[in-house]
Structure 1
């Protein structure tokens, strides 16, 4: 009893403690698109996720990645609702960690079934438990646990192992075999709705059934594989696989996802390059099991250069992997090895290969090069093989202590690596920088570093990273667009225009580039060209509120006030929360003395954005002009409070003018002085303060 409790305690501790750092993290990388920006997570509808892909795009759309995981999205919704409809990364990450703990326990139970297949009573070590501990701490799981989108893999794994356990019950139970069979099919479907590769559990069950029947051949002298009951069970499995795969194909609308060469370069290469490079990628996946030192959140683009020549030394790596595979096959067919050894090897290899097949680029191309989270289930096969191998070595050489020390060292290495890697997943910046160390040739990593650096106001780093991304991938039009925006902000308009026009060479129908080109052209007073650029942007994207806002600004500069108002109104119609469009409309009506129109607009603006400092300040100006001093004061004070550290001299100065006109001279003087504390050279405040002091000293 005590021994069992210690085992449970050890398993629970090792499946949680190495990943504890990840709980302190934020939404990172894919989490932003799949959770933060995904309306299926936060909307009122519970059914939209069944019509959309994992990223919130209609599953039948040509733009969809065809990743259909509605049950995973539903768990995100539950997190969102249980946290008072707030997107809390801690809540999401805690759930992920719990899923891994549960999955580890189920892996232990799965190993018990596989290891006890011969009902052997004596092993030098507890193979199932040692394998489960290794699974608990393996660093390849970090991406699935720390990246919230990895929950798809965690829950797919949990239901995968649960389905297998039920299938074993279906084989061995006489009374409830049919019930367990039905539960197995249901769980496999659920697993597939968490993530696509969940359907492979039926293939693993089929393989296990064949092994199980061969085991019983001598016991009954009947080849149970041909037994009517077994044939019925296996037929049900095969029909279920066909039915689920057909259902998956139908949900996609009978179309395959369309990927870019940057997502998976080898898939678009010639036959030799494709086969050899994919073989090398399979080797890298295997290497990550054994020595998970080089972990990266994104292996796309140039991370793994294509093998295009027969003399490329990397071609030896997959050959070594295949030689090892031949060694395994030889061990399986070697007459000297016991059936127990052969079956453990067969099931370990099956557990590695079958769940990996959908991501292997064998049947169809996938949208990634290497994705560590897809190795979550296959790693269970690796851990079982290592544990079994350790038992064989200890048994053969009778070195229990030495073998145990080696195992503990491996456990510590994996655990410490998981601990270290979970720290990288706390923030995007740390994750991206670490990725650059592993994949310095990946242009997307440099692009992501640039975006995060820009958000952190590290402009020099952002500029350098965007340029490096473009150097590595000269057709990277997104990087060109973002780099141009940075250069535009530095008033380097000529350089900005160069990169924007370069981007258009590779992506003519990119509305954001046309809009940004319009902004740059307007900044250089080429107003007609700017107007044309904006109109082209709107041709490619009809509902583009930012573009309507910017063309409104252009018309304001061209002294076409009504055109400006019309376009700002269009921006608001497409985005009711467009703060700058509301602000500019109110300000223009203020400056053109159209106060009645402004008064009609104000309630709608405040209804949509009651806590906007810009809108409250603009409203304060309107009410001040109309001598509605108390209302003006209220909005000025609220604006200043909302601006907080970003408050400017003009905000205090305008409130000072209000008090000045209101004859609250002491308050006016205080506000003028506050304005001058922020900007001592603010002429309006200086002039008004001198005038006020002269008036008070008369």
Structure 2
């Protein structure tokens, strides 16, 4: 609907801006609303990717002194601590601003998440504050009426309450989304201010905000299209003038791109061939190959439709949309066709808006532009989709819905029905946001909850299996412990069925079997991990340990010396410097009458730890059995001096 014609058709309340409630009061009420929605996250712990950018990041944990490293390395480098691994996602990541904030917070409160959650809450409240001010500045430029304020308020409340934002706000790491959106919104606001007032101060604030937004997350770049669109729609500028007015923003853009290139280079990493970093792979004859062009296009279109579904009806929610929660799709699926039709309609509305200049058309254009960079169309993002990717585009959705409610409800049914319907939607959204926040309390709660939604996601199946295995390790109740471990194995078995090359799932499966003392299955699981990656250090180390324990169990409990020897020998071959394995081989050799071998193994243990009284005593006994009596007596005295109890005759 044309904004310029609105006052002629609508019996709006024509009042001057001075007679309306102050903008600042509306905005602060929105700030409080947005912040209170997430107040129940204040006591939450660290979750999900917080490890990467906060408590397991070698730069962040240095506090202020680590900030230089955050600005001079890939964002993931401080976690992986290896060149190359940081570029597991295509093109690498350069987002130093929010990790620098985390470093300052770490300096102040250490490994404590409360301050991070508090800052996220306040920043989100401030973002809602700025969204409201922006809506007023856009909608009320020519004519400041109470009706237009209603539209601005409805749009802002719909945006503030939307449950899809929980991943960005309830997860501390999600601050990159908040800061990118906040910096972009502030930049747009002050570009409009500069256009209206020509005050250099407004332009400077816009440039600084845009630079901060870029340093927070790269999808800020979409606002290079959004801002001229806003000038064209809401300031009656020509397309050429709108573009020219946006040119100053190229300064922070170029500076950021130069910084990014200097750190990451021009290597965009190619296309990963690991399913957890590239969802558009499928198994063919036991080997992962790319989707066909048709499969990839259909799958992308389906996920875009899934976003629309979640914007309209945000349930159920999950943090994980990895393969195969989103399966391989085809154009024969009605959901793909329906999604395509919806986006054709949105494109038509946005294109037609160049003539009508309606808020719904701007909302459609804004949605499509900001969605583009996370759509897997422009470049691969490493997953099918994610709820946090809607943090920026969802404002376009709120604009379309807010304006539609005004046109179809407020105008036709009146103000009371309008606010009643808006209130019901906001209440439902808020309740969903509040309850969804609670799931983000901890990794354990997040993973074990979302695995029931993302039932075919190999990644969350692995995560839930890992969380259960870790928790089971500390569980004192043996019955509960076994139940948790069996549940974990169930999830992990399904994960490797979906993704047979998932080495980490096999690793965790091995751990779960080990805690159950099911050594044969543990050995098999670690072996599968090593088949996938022979250099997988964790699997190698763990398999050596479980072989040792399996050998010990076979010898001491089953009295199966042959099996014990097989396991212990394999363990020793993998790690000849493990002194417990060496000791056990010494004991086994002695029992079998291989006294020279027993001397060899016990001598190695003593060499590693000469002050170990029992080691000295074992060597003394082995030497005596081997007929080396003088040496046996020498080590017996050393054992006695160290406090070893002598064996009784």
Normalising by structure 1, what TM-score? 0.72
Q: What is the deviation of 1:273?
A: 0.7
Contact 1:164 1:205 in 2 (8 A): yes
1:286-305 alignment, distance < 5 Å? 286-305=308-327
* Equivalent residue, structure 2, for 1:45: 66
* Change in CA separation of 1:62 and 1:330 when aligned onto 2, cut-off 3 Å: closer
Q: 1:564 to 1:399 in 2, by over 3 A?
A: farther
Residues 231/552 of structure 1: CA separation in 2 closer, same or farther (3 Å cut):
same
Which residue of the other structure, out of 253, 265, 269, is the alignment partner of 1:253?
Answer: 265
Displacement of 1:41 after TM fit? 1.3
Deviation (angstroms), 1:130: 1.8
Cα separation, partners in 2 of 1:2 and 1:203, compared to 1, 3 Å: closer
Distance in 1 (alpha carbons) for counterparts of 2:375 and 2:605: 54
1:59 shift after superposition: 9.4
What's the CA shift string for 1:72-111, capped at 9, x where partnerless? 011111211222xx21122211111111011111111111
Inter-CA distance 385–446: structure 2 relative to 1 (3 Å threshold): same
**8 A Cα contact 2:321 2:384, kept in partner:** yes
What per-residue deviation string (whole Å, max 9, x for no partner) do you get for residues 255-295 of structure 1?
11464323342274111111111111111122222211121
Q: Secondary structure at the match of 1:46?
A: helix
Pairing partner for 2:507 from 476, 481, 489: 481
- 1:366–1:103 distance in 2 versus 1, CA, 3 Å: same
Q: For residue 300 of structure 1, report the CA deviation from its aligned partner.
A: 0.9
Match of 1:416 in 2: 431
Contact (CA 8 Å) 1:140, 1:292: kept in 2 or not? yes
SS in 1 for 2:417: helix
* Alpha-carbon shift at residue 234 of structure 1 (Å): 4.1
- Identify which of 164, 167, 171 aligns with 1:143: 167
1:262 paired residue number: 276
Conserved? CA contact 1:487–1:495, under 8 Å = yes
Once the 2 structures are TM-superposed, how far is the Cα of residue 182 of structure 1 from its aligned partner? 4.0
Q: Are 2:544 and 1:518 aligned?
A: yes
Q: Name the CA distance, whole Å, in 1 between partners of 2:498 and 2:98.
A: 35
Displacement of 1:625: 7.2
Partner of 2:42, secondary structure, is helix
TM superposition shift of 1:497: 2.3
Q: Structure 2: which 5+ runs fail to align?
A: 1-18, 282-289, 473-483, 552-564, 587-600, 619-637
Q: State the partner residue of 1:397.
A: 412
User: Is the Cα–Cα contact under 8 Å of residues 555 and 563 in structure 1 kept in the other structure?
Assistant: yes
| Shift in alpha-carbon separation, 1:565–1:75, aligned structure 2, 3 A | farther
Displacement of 1:496: 2.1
Correspondence for 1:61: 84
Q: Does structure 2 conserve the Cα–Cα contact (< 8 Å) formed by 1:554 and 1:564?
A: no
**Maintained 8 Å contact 2:375/2:385:** no
- How do 1:471-550 residues align onto structure 2 when only pairs under 5 Å count? 471-522=497-548, 523-524=550-551, 525-526=565-566, 527-534=568-575
Name the residue aligned to 1:101.
Answer: 125
**Equivalence map 1:418-437=2 (5 Å):** 418-437=433-452
The C-alpha deviation readout for 1:15-59, integer Å capped at 9, x for no partner, is 122222212211112112321111111114331111223332479
Return the match for 1:383 from 398, 403, 412. Answer: 398
Cα offset for 1:125?
5.6
The equivalent of 1:193 in structure 2 is 215
Distance 1:60 1:511 in 2: 17
Question: Is the Cα contact below 8 Å between 2:602 and 2:615 reproduced in 1?
Answer: no
Cα distance in 1 for partners of 2:419, 2:243 equals: 43
**Residue pair 1:143, 1:150 contacting (<8 A) in 2 also:** yes
Query: By how many angstroms is 1:3 displaced?
Result: 4.2
**Partners of 1:352 and 1:379 within 8 A in 2:** yes
Alpha carbons of structure 1 residues 240 and 453: separation in structure 2 relative to 1, 3 Å: closer
* 3-state SS in 2 of match to 1:188: helix
Tell me the SS of whatever aligns to 1:363. Answer: coil
Q: Is the 8 A contact 2:66 2:103 kept in 1?
A: no
1:154-303 alignment runs, 5 A limit? 154-174=178-198, 176-177=199-200, 179-212=201-234, 215-216=236-237, 232-237=244-249, 241=253, 244-245=256-257, 247-257=259-269, 259=272, 260-266=274-280, 268-303=290-325
Match of 1:11 in 2: 30
1: CA distance, partners of 2:224 / 2:81: 28
**Which residue in the other structure is 1:678 paired with?**
none
Which SS does the other structure have where 2:123 is aligned?
helix
SS of 1:39's equivalent?
coil
1: CA distance between counterparts of 2:572 and 2:104?
47
Query: 1:488 touches 1:520 (CA, 8 Å); kept in 2?
Result: yes
Matched, 1:443 2:462: no
**Which residue pairs with 1:36 in the alignment?**
55
SS across alignment from 1:478: helix
CA distance in 2, matches of 1:23, 1:592: 56
* Alpha-carbon distance, 1:143 to partner: 0.7
Q: CA deviation at 1:226?
A: 5.2
What does residue range 271-350 of structure 1 map to in structure 2 within 5 Å? 271-307=293-329, 309-325=330-346, 328-329=349-350, 332=353, 339=356, 342-350=357-365
Which string of whole-angstrom CA distances, capped at 9 and with x for unpartnered residues, describes residues 339-388 of structure 1? 4xx24234322332333322111221111222212221222222122212
Q: Could you tell me which of 6, 23, 28 is aligned with 2:42?
A: 23
Hey, what does 1:114 align to over in structure 2?
Answer: 138
Taking structure 1 as reference, are residues 232 and 359 closer, same or farther at Cα in structure 2, changes over 3 Å only?
A: closer
Q: Normalised by the size of structure 2, how large is the TM-score?
A: 0.77
- The DSSP-based 3-state class of the residue aligned with 1:437 is coil
- Which of 56-65 and 201-210 deviates more? 56-65
Partner of 1:467: 493
Contact 2:347 2:365 in 1 (8 A): no
Distance 1:353 1:156 in 2: 17
State the 1:520 CA deviation.
3.2
* Structure-2 change in CA distance of 1:562 and 1:169 (3 Å): farther
